[in-house]
Structures are given as C-alpha cells and as structure tokens.
Amino acid sequence: MPPLILASGSQARARMLREAGVEIDIAVAPIDETALMQSFRQEGLPPARVAEALAELKAQRVSAKHPGRLVLGADQMLDCAGTWLEKPHDLAEARRHLVALRGKSHRLISNAVLVRDGSRLWHHTAAADLTMRAFTDDFLDAYLREAGDAVLGSVGAYQLEGRGAQLFARIDGDFFTILGLPLLAVLDILREQGMLKA
C-alpha cells in the first residue's frame, strides 16, 4: 500500500505521524485559509466546524491529484472567548497574540479528515482547554527571543513541547491534539484501512 498523503505543511503533524511509525508523503493544498476563515465566520460557523471544513478542503484538493491514495487533511483553530487566532506572520504579531492570551483560557480544536478519490471516509474532532498564566513582559520578551521564528508555525505562537510550556498555568486535553492532530484517532482509522498492523 502506498504511503499516506498528508495534506498539510505542518512539520509538527509530519513529525508526529513519522514518529508513530506512519509512512507519509506530503502534498500541501494551496488554499487561502484567512479568506476562508473570514467567510466561515460571516456564515456563523462554530470553530469546530471551521476546522473540519478546512481540513476536508485540504484533503479534497490533494485527493483530486492522487487517485486511489488515502489523503489526510488536518486543521486547528484557536478560540479565545470568540476571538479566533491564526498563525502569526511575524514576531511582533506573535507578541500581540501572547499578550491577548495572557492570564486567560482558550480552546484549541484539532480536526482530521481522511479522503480517498474525493470521498470523505472519516473525520474526527478533538479539543483541549488551556489557561495561560499571567507572565511578565520580561518573561515574554525572553521567550520570544529564545524561541525565535519557530513560534510563527503554530496558532497561539507557542510550542508546548518546548519552553512554551512555561506560559501555562493549566492544560486539559490530549497532548497530540494541542500539537495539531488527534493522533490516536488517526492511528485507529489507519489500522482500519490496513495501513498499520492491528
């Protein structure tokens, strides 16, 4: 069986799958996520549905170019009291995001959709609730200096697997979901599809 195609440019998702023993190819779907999110917000879609729609769109776009292959689309939304945050474009925006999240709780919603030949075979949504501590400006500046451009690759501008853990007071949810993929559920469906040993 050919490798799973991951329809995402996320290095964290690719690393999670590979480290779990899943052979993957990567094909990034060219979509304007910002414009789509604005459209979905105007339609009144909740964040979980937005993550699902974006994940499916990525998978469908890639599936059209790879007949017969299993394609996994994935997306993540950050919702803080009705405000949705995307990946920051630069360190100044990352700082603004972290200031906005400081001392507050937010929800990360991760969605995965499996597609073959344009047909959706499966999807799964998972959520985690995180509360940032009221860290000082000095800590924030030191964190951004040390983390550098790595924070630009994740919604919320933090990486929980590194120094970003120091930003938090409380975390409720699956670690993989926080990293951007409901990995255990994905592994289950890949076993059902015969891609992994049961």
Q: Any idea which residues carry the catalytic annotation?
A: 75
What span, in angstroms and rounded, lies between the C-alpha atoms of 74 and 57?
Answer: 9
8 Å CB contact between 9 and 28: yes
Question: Is the Cβ–Cβ distance between 93 and 126 less than 8 Å?
Answer: no
Candidates 164, 182, 162; CA nearest to 174 is 182
DSSP structure class, residue 33 = H
Strand partners, 85: 78
Q: What's the gap between Cα 129 and its chain centre?
A: 14
Looking at the DSSP assignment, which residues form a beta bridge with residue 132?
168
Q: Angle at Cα 115 formed by Cα 113 and Cα 116, nearest 5°?
A: 165
